[in-house]
Amino acid sequence: MHTETLQCIVLSTMDYGDSDRIASLFSLEHGKIKGFARSARKSRKRFGAALESFARIDVQVRLKEGLCSLQQAGIRNIYPQIRSNLDCIALALYACELTDAITPEGVPLPRLFRLFSAYLDRMDSTGASEQDRRFFEINLLNILGYRPTLEECASCGTIFGNSGAVMAACGQLSCRNCRDSGAVISHAALRFLQGCLRTGTFGLLAADAESLSQAGSLLDAAIAHHTGRQMKSADFLRQLSDHGNIRT
């Protein structure tokens, strides 16, 4: 067992006993880890408000297989503007739950950590955005090797043209010759997602409402396929979107 100081984003926490906490953290150095924080709910000196969901922190950890030991933590960014807005809170918690559900434990993913950090920074400065959410999702899937093929038919290899593609329930895309039923994903929606992968920066692309909706349907299907479960935060986001709270 050895001690390191890691840069982390807090994915979730769970109270344990009278004063302890168990935390799921996404670290720059080691990817997702789980840690036990003894007396975290009583010790303001060692943890303070650091173990709050989507806080970005520096945490001193005794690393070991299974549950690590969290010694103390300090806040880098608590994202106060996100915490002042319900839509932003919902999106940030969704990003945390998605990352927790889809990433393996103990596998360093520095590109994903930087993407996640950039997403929180962006939301803290500009607010809640459906386009930013979808930008985060397609890049997350790409980093993990899970993204659907956006350029050509998964069955025959035909390049998608102006007619777009047809989607299977798992998020796989086929040309119209290989699949005659399913949700249509337009050429414009595919170009938006391809652009998200090329630019690597939030806020540089725009999509019309229909293209954004189709891109979202594709990403929702791909994510559900790879996580294998329905996420509670996604249901809450759907309710907010239905009421038009989150801007496109």
Residue 7 phi, psi dihedral angles, 5° rounding:
-95, 125
- Report residue 212 as tokens: 């954004």
Give 25's Cβ-side CA count (13 Å radius): 34
**116-148 pLDDT tens trace:** 999 999 999 999 999 999 999 999 999 999 999
Q: Please report which residue ranges of 145-200 form alpha helices under DSSP H.
A: 187-199
CA angle at residue 188 from 184 to 193, to 5 degrees?
95
The secondary structure of 50-117 as a DSSP string is -SSTT-EEEEEEEE-SSEEEEEEEEEEE--HHHHT-HHHHHHHHHHHHHHHHHSPBT---HHHHHHHH
Place of tokens 């969901």: 53
**168-219 pLDDT tens trace:** 988 999 998 998 888 999 999 999 999 999 998 999 999 999 999 999 999 9
CB 92 within 8 A of CB 52: no
d(CA 57, CA 55): 6
**24-83 pLDDT tens trace:** 999 999 999 999 998 877 766 788 889 999 999 999 999 888 899 999 999 999 999 999
Residue 141 phi, psi dihedral angles, 5° rounding:
-60, -40
Q: Which residues contact 243 (CB under 8 A, 6 or more apart)?
A: none
| Residue 3 pLDDT class (50, 70, 90 cuts) | confident
The pTM score is 0.93
- Domains, the chain, with CATH or none: 2-78 (2.40.50.140), 81-242 (1.20.1440.120)
d(CA 13, CA 21): 7
Give the residue among 150, 159, 224 at the shortest CA–CA distance from 185.
150
Element (H, E) at 131: helix 130-144
